[in-house]
């Protein structure tokens, strides 16, 4: 149910067909990702930030999901560091997170990429509309983690993010400009969602259910998105400094979070 919910294609971006094909191929992707998360939360590196052409300023999709995952890790007793862009650091600084610029990847127990560019087949990086991204990218961290055997989880929504290399053929099939923009960077586990923040929330929700303990109580989506927008992050679809994510209004994001909360609470009642 959670996997269906986080893939609700409110923005009509064509993710539904991609999701259905991916689910047929890997029906347990959310469970598998939650298990990896719960088995490896001791020291986590989260990579986030997606520059939007032409300004190359990072968007509002990714940082809230990163914050949710970080708080869940802290609740579990683990430690989190975040690799991202300066404007994202500034936007998230008030939430008490730790940032890193040159991480020693081998020192982490888990690396998670949340809405961050993954190189395409030609070695370049592209937006959903096929525009080239000409700013520093961090997918090399994912490649290094896989090289040294550190578990990795990718979270994305369009096919051009780190981790989507696992389903590049499906991205080419379903996503406009897929052949050009599809990432070739794979992760051990991949969470597909209609909005990457929702994928991160879905991972926390699934982990909460499997652990039997709520890992993200009191999440305030509206306040968080408004705060990071005010501090300079932009809506990646509208390309403006607007308190929304992927062109979808805050009321929809609030509703998705509320439904996830209901699913978690109902499941935990059964467990109790």
| Strands 110-114 and 79-83, bridge-based pairing | unpaired
What pLDDT does residue 272 have?
43
What pLDDT does residue 11 have?
66
First to last CA, the chain: 20
CA-based nearest residue to 13, from 187, 159, 179: 159
- DSSP assignment letter at 148: H
> Residue for token digits 């269906």?
4
Question: What confidence tens digit (pLDDT) does each residue in 165-201 have?
Answer: 999 999 999 999 999 999 999 999 999 999 999 999 9
Class of domain 1-270: alpha beta
Distance CA 60, CA 49 (A): 8
Stretches in the chain below the pLDDT threshold 70: 11, 13, 270-272
Using DSSP's 3-state secondary structure scheme, residue 98 falls into coil
CA-based nearest residue to 138, from 183, 175, 172, 96: 183
What pLDDT does residue 15 have?
83
> Residue for token digits 């406009």?
176
What pLDDT does residue 19 have?
95
* pTM, 2 dp: 0.96
Residues 113/152, Cβ–Cβ less than 8 Å? yes
Contacts 24+ apart (CB under 8 A), 145-150: 145/45, 145/105, 145/108, 145/111, 146/186, 146/187, 146/188, 148/105, 148/106, 150/105, 150/106, 150/108, 150/109, 150/110, 150/111
What pLDDT does residue 10 have?
83
What pLDDT does residue 16 have?
87
């Amino acid at each position: 149910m959670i996997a269906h919910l986080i893939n609700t294609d409110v923005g009509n971006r064509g993710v539904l067909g991609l999701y259905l094909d991916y689910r047929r191929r890997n029906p347990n992707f959310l469970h598998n990702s939650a298990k990896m998360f719960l088995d490896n939360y001791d020291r986590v590196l989260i990579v986030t930030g997606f520059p939007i052409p032409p300004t190359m300023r990072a968007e509002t999709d990714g940082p809230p999901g990163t914050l949710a995952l970080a708080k869940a890790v802290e609740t579990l007793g683990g430690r989190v560091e975040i690799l991202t862009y300066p404007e994202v650091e500034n936007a998230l600084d008030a939430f008490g997170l730790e940032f890193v610029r040159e991480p020693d990847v081998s020192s982490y127990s888990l690396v998670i990429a949340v809405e961050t560019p993954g190189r395409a087949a030609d070695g370049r990086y592209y937006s959903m509309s096929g525009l080239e991204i000409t700013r520093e990218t961090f997918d090399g961290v994912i490649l290094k983690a896989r090289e040294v055997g550190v578990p990795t989880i990718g979270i994305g929504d369009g096919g051009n993010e780190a981790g989507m290399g696992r389903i590049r053929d499906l991205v080419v099939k379903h996503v406009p400009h897929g052949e050009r923009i599809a990432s070739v960077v794979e992760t051990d586990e991949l969470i597909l969602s209609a909005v990457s923040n929702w994928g991160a929330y879905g991972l926390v929700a699934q982990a909460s259910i499997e652990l039997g303990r709520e890992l993200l109580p009191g999440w305030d989506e509206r306040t968080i998105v408004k705060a990071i927008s005010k501090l300079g992050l932009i809506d990646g679809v509208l390309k403006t400094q607007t308190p929304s994510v992927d062109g979808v209004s805050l009321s929809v994001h609030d509703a998705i979070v509320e439904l996830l909360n209901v699913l978690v609470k109902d499941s935990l009642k059964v467990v109790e």
